[in-house]
Amino acid sequence: MPPLRVSEWRKLPLSLTELCINTTLRCGQSFRWQKINDEWNCVLHGRLLSLKQDESFLHYKVTWPKSSSSPRKPAVLPKEIGDIDIQQGDDTEALIRHYFSLKHDLAALYDQWSESDPNFKKKAPKFTGIRIISQDAWETLVAFICSSNNHISRISQMVHKLCVHYGPLIGHIGDEAFHDFPSPQALTGKTVEAHLRELGFGYRAKYIAKTALIVSTTKPEGWLESLTNPESPGWAPVSIPVRDEPITYKQAHEELLLLTGVGPKVADCVCLMGLGWSEAVPVDTHVWQIAQRDYRFGKTKTKTFSKAMYDSVGDHFRQIWGPQAGWAQSVLFTANLKSFSEQAAADPKSVDIEVEIKQEIESESSLNLNSRKRRTMAIVEQVKVEDDEPSGVTAISRKRRKTRK
């Protein structure tokens, strides 16, 4: 019996338009993938997964830890796994299909977004194959607590430190050790905050420690997962507390806001990437810039923007792009990232005019929508007025009430 159980390379037929891992794994969704030579590596659900891609296939290989230290070889398998995998005792293909949400036809979605949004149509062709990946909710929560007022390289370092110091060791590639992400329990303890500060987490050390404590001690098992979109169930088989009514995106968002270090932006990141709410649109400074530059949101005098503005940007994009707005947002977000700037080309002016005209039409047609959407547009229109006549709408975001301990 070998110390490590390594599978052969297998492959899934998949075009680069349906998924481009080189973009999707680098665009600030996940902070744990490491590229070694031409292979992307990451520990997911207790195994080391390696990926590489060519024009027609996604190739994957899995390495299981030594059996004794294996945290969880899945005892209970989710329902939708193919028979072959169950018989082989390897659910990795199912994991990949879930992780990348391969049931969605991405090319069709791009077509749909392009049809309803000239700006998307202009930007997207150079950024195909970008998907929202379905990550573990707890990891997503902690990673995006780290992301506040921070940049991708440092976020990646911090997440790596969490894994190395608190997560279970799964395997090696060369000299590189690969750990899984630590559980809430592993991050609960009196020394955690001080230690994380030593490790360079800054003020986020407290947020992580407090959030881990809340989740592991004051919430029932599976609480975070219970905020998952029922139409997009999670992958890991966890027991989830029952709810009287199906949870909504807004409810999940509100519940997350009660955690320390979680504001509207982080809550939306968790909703979108960790809980399957594809309509969640995280509005950070980049998305705000995009909204101002390409979608006629007005200039503000203040550096920050208000919760009302935050909601209005999200509602606007949901109206344009529909129920998968968060997916569309990630495409434009990536196109706007500095690290991808070489991919973005100079844009012809003619399209800008087209965008403006389209925007006007959308504003008018919105009057025929229901009252909720009318209110949304009213706010947006207000913002647009500010654009023409900058006077007062500054804005800032505030959190509602947090249960202070």
Angle at the Cα of 126 from the Cα atoms of 336 and 339, rounded to 5 degrees = 40
CA distances from 16 to 9, 12, 24 (A): 19, 12, 11
Q: Does 12 bind DNA (CB under 7 A)?
A: no
Binding-site member from 153, 218, 239, 341 for DNA (CB under 7 A): 153
Contacts 24+ apart (CB under 8 A), 36-41: 36/173, 36/174, 36/176, 41/173, 41/178
Q: Does 267 bind DNA (CB under 7 A)?
A: yes
Among 265, 303, 338, 384, the active-site one is 265
Q: Which CB atom, from 170 or from 283, has the smaller least distance to DNA?
A: 283
Query: Encoding tokens for residue 148?
Result: 């506040």
Q: Does 405 bind DNA (CB under 7 A)?
A: no
Q: Does 260 bind DNA (CB under 7 A)?
A: yes
Reduce the DSSP state of residue 194 to 3 states and report it: helix
Strand partners, 53: 58
Q: Does 292 bind DNA (CB under 7 A)?
A: no
Please list every residue from 330 through 359 that binds DNA, using CB under 7 A.
333, 337-338
Q: Does 204 bind DNA (CB under 7 A)?
A: yes
Part of the chain binding DNA (CB under 7 A), chosen from 46-54, 181-189, 230-238, 305-313: 305-313
Please list every residue from 182 through 201 that binds DNA, using CB under 7 A.
197, 200-201
Q: Cite the DSSP H helix spans in 100-248.
A: 106-116, 118-123, 137-146, 152-166, 192-198, 204-213
Q: Whole-number minimum distance, CB 286 to DNA, in Å?
A: 5
Q: Which CB atom, from 10 or from 286, has the smaller least distance to DNA?
A: 286
Distance CA 353, CA 320 (A): 17
Q: Whole-number minimum distance, CB 199 to DNA, in Å?
A: 8
Total number of residues that touch DNA (CB under 7 A) = 55
User: In this structure, are strands 169-173 and 57-64 parallel, antiparallel, or unpaired?
Assistant: unpaired
The answer to whether the beta carbons of residues 307 and 300 sit under 8 Å apart is no
The radius of gyration of the chain's CA atoms, rounded to the nearest angstrom, is 22
CA distances from 4 to 131, 142, 181, 210 (A): 31, 29, 20, 36
Cα 2 to its chain centre, rounded Å, is 36
Q: Does 285 bind DNA (CB under 7 A)?
A: yes
Q: Does 119 bind DNA (CB under 7 A)?
A: no
Binding-site member from 54, 126, 194, 203 for DNA (CB under 7 A): 203
Q: Whole-number minimum distance, CB 361 to DNA, in Å?
A: 28
Please list every residue from 24 through 43 that binds DNA, using CB under 7 A.
27-29
Part of the chain binding DNA (CB under 7 A), chosen from 12-20, 97-105, 117-125, 279-287: 279-287
The answer to whether the beta carbons of residues 179 and 167 sit under 8 Å apart is yes
Binding-site member from 12, 16, 152, 344 for DNA (CB under 7 A): 152
Output the CA torsion 165→166→167→171 (10° steps): 30
Please list every residue from 240 through 259 that binds DNA, using CB under 7 A.
259
Strand partners, 35: 40
Reduce the DSSP state of residue 42 to 3 states and report it: strand
Binding string to DNA for residues 156 to 175, with x set by CB under 7 A, is what? Answer: -x------------------
Q: Which of these, 160, 158, 165, lies nearest to 187 by C-alpha position?
A: 165
Binding-site member from 15, 128, 304, 366 for DNA (CB under 7 A): 304
Annotation marks residue 265 as catalytic: yes
Part of the chain binding DNA (CB under 7 A), chosen from 47-55, 72-80, 140-148, 166-174: 140-148
Q: Which CB atom, from 121 or from 206, has the smaller least distance to DNA?
A: 206
Reduce the DSSP state of residue 142 to 3 states and report it: helix
Binding-site member from 5, 59, 165, 286 for DNA (CB under 7 A): 286
Please list every residue from 366 through 395 that binds DNA, using CB under 7 A.
392-395
Q: Which residues bind DNA (CB under 7 A)?
A: 27-29, 144, 147-154, 157, 197, 200-204, 207, 259-267, 269, 282, 284-286, 301-304, 306-308, 333, 337-338, 392-400, 402, 404
Active site (catalytic) residues: 265
